[in-house]
Structure 1
Amino acid sequence: MNTLKIHFLGASGTVTGSKFYLETPDLNLMVDCGMFQGLKELREINWAPLPIDASKVDVVLLTHGHLDHTGYLPRLVKEGFRGKIIGTAPTLAITEIILLDSGKIQEEEATKANEEGYSKHHPAVPFYTVDEAKNTISKFESAEKDKWLPLSDTIKLRFRYNGHIIGATFIELDISGKIFVFSGDVGRIHDVLLSKPEKPQWADYLFLESTYGNKLHPKEDVEGMLVDLVHKTITNGGNLIIPSFAVERLQSLMYTLWQLFKKNKIPNIPIFIDSPMGNNVLSVFQEFPEWHKLSSAEYDAMCTHFNIITSYSDTWKTIDNPRPKIIIAGSGMVTGGRVLTYLKQMIDKTSTSILIVGYQAEGTRGRQLLDGAHELKIYGKYYPVKASVNHLESLSAHADQGELIDWLNEIKNIPENVFLIHGEPSALDIFKVKIRDVYHWNVTIPKLNDTLEIIL
C-alpha cells in the first residue's frame, strides 16, 4: 500500500513561514519554503534546523515570490538541498529580487548590530548572505501556467493563476491520481492591477490559506481617504509616509495615486518611491505584461509621474526637503527597509501622517502602530509616536472570507480533507466553522510540525 506523508513545517497555526513537505513513493516535494516573520518566538524558528533532512528534498514548488513563501530557500540549500526550485517565470523573477534584497539587508543589519552593539548575539550574523542567495537562484527552473508538468511516472503538477501578486498561482499536484491543491495566497476578485483568481475544479486534499478567514474587507472609500490625507499633509506642511510591500501593493498605490492626479482629485504633490526592491519589481511588470492589466503606455506614463529614489543619499535629501510630500517606502510591515529611516526622523512630529495598508502580522512594528503604540523601537532605540496613524484594510492583496468561500464554489467533488493554513488561530477557528456550514466538508487545522499519512 502506497502512502504519502505530509509535514506541516510552517504557516500552521500562524500566517508566516509557509513550508509543506510531501514524502511520496517517487519523490520528496516541498511546496513553498518561507521565512517566519513577526513574533520573536516565530522568528527564532528560522534559526533552528529543519526537522527533516534537506538533502532528501528533490523539488521545491513555489506558489509565489513573497518572503514568507520563499525566504527560507537559501537556508534549505545551506542545509543540503540540491534539487530544482520550480515556479512561474514572474514568480522566480520576484523571488530573485526578494532573496537578493533580503540577503543584502541581513548583511547590513548584522554589520550595524555589531557596530552599535544592540544585538544579544556576539557577533550578530546574517540569516543568509547575498552569495548564498545567488547560489539558490542558480537552482531556479521556470514552468508555464495551465500546463501539466510531469515530475515522475506518478506525479505531475500544474500552476494556475491566482491574483494576489504578479506571477502568483495555486498549485494542483496529481499524485497517483489524487489531486492535492495548495492555494498559496488567494488574490482579490476586484484588483486594480491583476485579474481575478482562477478556481480549482477538483481537490481530494485542499490546503487553504486563511489570512482573512474571519473577516470581510470593509467597503472603504480608498480614493476619498487618500484625497483627505493628501490635503491634510499639504495643510500641515508635513509628510505622508506609506510603508508598503514592494510587490504589487507598491504598484497598486502608484496606480491609484496616479489616477487621482489624472482626475484632478489631488494636486501635483511630490511623491517619492523609496524601495530599491519595489523599483526592481516594476521591471517585472514591464517584462510580463500578460500577467497584469496595465498596457505598456499606461505603465510608462504612471512611472514618469513619480520620483524614484535610487540611492541612500537621495533618501536623506528627501528627508531634508521641507516641502509637503508623500513617501512610499518598504517594508510593508515596518520590519525593515528604508521606511525605518523616515520614521526615525518623522514619527515624533504631529505634522506626519502614517498610512498602514494591508495585513500586519503579530509582533511587527506595523501591528504595533495599528494597536496604538506610544513609542516604536527601531535599531535598539525608542521613538515617540506623535504622528497620526491611519489604516486602509481594503487594499489588502489577500481574499477575505467571502472571496475565499467563493473561490471554492467550482470544486465538483467533496474533498477528503481541507487543511486550513496561513492564518492566526482566531481566523482559523472561525473559517473552519464557516466552511463546514457552507459546504459541509471535513476541515482540519494542523499545528506546526504535525505530520499526516495519506493512503494513495
Structure 2
Amino acid sequence: MNYFVNVKFLGAAKTVTGSKFLIETSEKTILIDCGMFQGLKELRELNWKDLSVNANKIDVILLTHGHLDHVGYLPRIVKQGFSGKIIGTAPTLAIAEIILNDSAKIHEEEAQKANKEKYSSHVPALPFYTLEDAENTIRKFEVGIVNKWIDLSENMKYRFQYNGHIIGATFIELDIKGKRFVFSGDIGRSNDYLLEEPKTPEWADFLFIESTYGNKLHPVEDIEEKLAAIIVDTIQKKGNLVIPSFAVERLQTLMYILWKLYKENKIPNIPIFVDSPMGNRVLDVFKRFPKWHKLPMEEYSAMCNHINIIQSYKETWETIDDKRSKIIIAGSGMVTGGRVLTYLQQIIDEPSTTVLLVGYQAEGTRGRQLLEGAHEIRFYGKYYPVKATIKTIESLSAHADQQDLLNWMKNIKNVPEKVFLIHGEPTALDAFRVKIKDQYHWNVVIPTLDSEEEIII
C-alpha cells in the first residue's frame, strides 16, 4: 500500500526569510521551523495573513535554530490554534525565548509610538504579537535531544544534528517509512571563531538545502587586519564606528575578535560599547551551554570585562553624548529595528562616522540600502542624509557560501530523488541549481511560495 507525504512550502521559497515547511502524512503533520518574513514590504505583509493550513491540525513543530526568520511566527501560529509541542535543542529554545520576548516588546513599543506620532497607515497600529502571546508560546517549548533518533509515530522519527551557524543550531533528519528527508536549516562555516565544524548528512532521499549564498564565495580576507584598519581610521577621523549586529552569534563573535585584537596589541584601547539587550541575554546562553561552543570561560569573562555592556536606554544616550572616538555594536544586524536606529539617527549624517555591515542584508532592509549606496535613509517616518562611510566585511557571515554548501552535501552516499533549494533570492537559487547539476548531476527543484510536493513512498 502506498504511503503519501505532502510537503508544503509556507516560507523561505524564492526568498531567504519566513522559514516554514509543512510535512503532512496520514499519521502526523509536522512543521519544520516557523519563521517571520523580513525585508521587502510585500514579504512583511505576508506575516499578517493566517497560514493557508489549519494550525490546529499540526501535531508538532521542530526548530532548526533560534533566529527570528525561523521562530518569529510561533506566537501567531499558537493564536491560530496550534496546541502541540515546539521542540528544539536547549540552546535553540533559550535563544528563541529571548528573541520572542524581545520581539514582542519591540512590536508593542513600535505600535504605541506609531499611534502616538501618527506615522502608521494603520489606525490603530497593532503589535504583531504581544508579550502575553510570546509567553503562551514559550510554555509549549520542549527540549530535544541531539544525535539521537526520536520516534514520532510508527513510521516516523527525527534526529537533530549539530550544524554550526549559531549556538544550538542543527539540521533535521526526518525518517518517514524508511525515506530520509533532510532539512539543512542554516548551515554554519568551517573555522568559525566560536563554533565547531558543522556535521554533515550521510543519506538524503529528499534534501531541502539553504541557498543564501548559493551564488557567492566569501572573500578571502584577513578579518582581523581589515577590522583593525577600520578602527585606526575611525580614531584618526575622531569619529564613531557603528556596527549593526545580529544579537545571536555575530555580536559575541565581534566582541571576541575585538578583545583578541586589543589583547594582541593590534588596536589601541578604544572604548567599545555593546548596546543590545537581546545580545546581552544571548551572552548568558553562552555561559549556560559551554559544550555548544569553543570559547573558554576565562576568555569569555575577560572579554565581557573589557567591553562596556549597556544596560539601559539612558546609557544609550550617554554613549551618544560621549565625544570620544568609540566602537558601538548594536542590534539589529539588517538595521531593521533595535538600538542601532537611535545611534544612526544621530550620527549617520556625520562624515566622521563609519558604519560597518557584517552580515547578510536581505532585500528591502535598511542594511541592504546602505550596502547599495543609498544617499538617504528613513527612520520612523523621517529621512536622514547618509554622509557616513559605509564598509562591509562579508567574510564575517555566519552562513556557508557556495563552496561550503557543496562540501556539506559531499558525504551523502546516495543520489537524492529530489533536492529542493530554499532560503535564497532568485539569482542565488538559480546559480546554485546550475552548480549542483554540474557537480553532482542531481535533480534540483526551486519551489515557490505555497507550492506543494506530493511524494509517494
TM-score by length of 1: 0.99
CA distance in 2, matches of 1:77, 1:347: 39
| 3-state SS of paired residue (2:147) | coil
Counterparts of residues 100-249 of structure 1 (less than 5 Å): 100-249=101-250
| 3-state SS of paired residue (1:163) | coil
* 1:429 corresponding residue in structure 2: 430
| 3-state SS of paired residue (1:335) | coil
Residue type at the aligned position of 1:33: C
Counterparts of residues 221-300 of structure 1 (less than 5 Å): 221-300=222-301
Residue type at the aligned position of 2:60: V
CA distance in 1, matches of 2:13, 2:230: 37
CA distance in 2, matches of 1:153, 1:297: 47
Residue type at the aligned position of 1:356: L
- Note the C-alpha offset of 1:197: 0.4
Residue type at the aligned position of 1:29: I
* 1:31 corresponding residue in structure 2: 32
What is the CA deviation profile of residues 230-269 of structure 1, one whole-angstrom value per residue up to 9, with x for unaligned ones? 1111111110000000000000000101000011010110
| 3-state SS of paired residue (1:219) | coil
* 2:364 corresponding residue in structure 1: 363
CA distance in 2, matches of 1:280, 1:73: 20
Residue type at the aligned position of 1:328: I
* 2:325 corresponding residue in structure 1: 324
CA distance in 1, matches of 2:176, 2:142: 21
What is the CA deviation profile of residues 271-327 of structure 1, one whole-angstrom value per residue up to 9, with x for unaligned ones? 000000000000000000001001111111111110000100000000001111000
- Note the C-alpha offset of 1:134: 0.6
TM-score by length of 2: 0.99
CA distance in 2, matches of 1:154, 1:109: 46
Number of residues of Structure 1 aligned to a counterpart in Structure 2: 456
| 3-state SS of paired residue (2:241) | strand
What is the CA deviation profile of residues 372-423 of structure 1, one whole-angstrom value per residue up to 9, with x for unaligned ones? 0000000000000000000110000000000000000110000000000000
More divergent stretch after superposition (233-242 vs 160-169) = 233-242
CA distance in 1, matches of 2:248, 2:324: 28
1:353 aligns with 2:354: yes
CA distance in 2, matches of 1:431, 1:230: 36
1:72 aligns with 2:65: no
CA distance in 1, matches of 2:232, 2:433: 43
CA distance in 2, matches of 1:221, 1:350: 26
* 1:86 corresponding residue in structure 2: 87
CA distance in 2, matches of 1:49, 1:87: 23
CA distance in 2, matches of 1:441, 1:168: 26
CA distance in 2, matches of 1:76, 1:269: 45
- Note the C-alpha offset of 1:136: 0.1
Residue type at the aligned position of 2:324: R
More divergent stretch after superposition (224-233 vs 186-195) = 224-233
CA distance in 2, matches of 1:224, 1:374: 28
Counterparts of residues 288-437 of structure 1 (less than 5 Å): 288-437=289-438
- Note the C-alpha offset of 1:225: 1.6
CA distance in 2, matches of 1:370, 1:409: 33
Residue type at the aligned position of 1:125: L
Q: Which runs of 5+ in 1 are unaligned?
A: none
* 1:6 corresponding residue in structure 2: 7
Residue type at the aligned position of 1:123: P
* 1:45 corresponding residue in structure 2: 46
CA RMSD of aligned residues (A): 0.5
CA distance in 2, matches of 1:214, 1:230: 30
What is the CA deviation profile of residues 108-152 of structure 1, one whole-angstrom value per residue up to 9, with x for unaligned ones? 000000011110000000000011001000000001110111111
Counterparts of residues 440-451 of structure 1 (less than 5 Å): 440-451=441-452
Residue type at the aligned position of 1:82: S
- Note the C-alpha offset of 1:220: 1.6
CA distance in 1, matches of 2:207, 2:54: 25
CA distance in 1, matches of 2:33, 2:112: 29
| 3-state SS of paired residue (1:33) | coil
- Note the C-alpha offset of 1:229: 1.4
Residue type at the aligned position of 1:18: S
Percent identity over the alignment?
68
| 3-state SS of paired residue (2:256) | helix
| 3-state SS of paired residue (2:153) | coil
- Note the C-alpha offset of 1:34: 0.3
- Note the C-alpha offset of 1:154: 1.1
Residue type at the aligned position of 1:17: G
Residue type at the aligned position of 2:306: H
What is the CA deviation profile of residues 11-61 of structure 1, one whole-angstrom value per residue up to 9, with x for unaligned ones? 000000000001111110000000000000000000011110001011000
Residue type at the aligned position of 1:5: N
| 3-state SS of paired residue (1:418) | strand
CA distance in 2, matches of 1:221, 1:390: 15
More divergent stretch after superposition (232-241 vs 77-86) = 232-241
Regions of 4+ moved over 3 Å: none
| 3-state SS of paired residue (2:13) | coil
- Note the C-alpha offset of 1:348: 0.4
- Note the C-alpha offset of 1:153: 1.2
Q: Which runs of 5+ in 2 are unaligned?
A: none
- Note the C-alpha offset of 1:221: 2.0
- Note the C-alpha offset of 1:358: 1.2
Residue type at the aligned position of 1:330: G
| 3-state SS of paired residue (1:394) | helix
Residue type at the aligned position of 2:259: W
CA distance in 2, matches of 1:287, 1:153: 35
| 3-state SS of paired residue (1:406) | helix
CA distance in 2, matches of 1:110, 1:414: 50
| 3-state SS of paired residue (2:349) | coil
More divergent stretch after superposition (194-203 vs 294-303) = 294-303
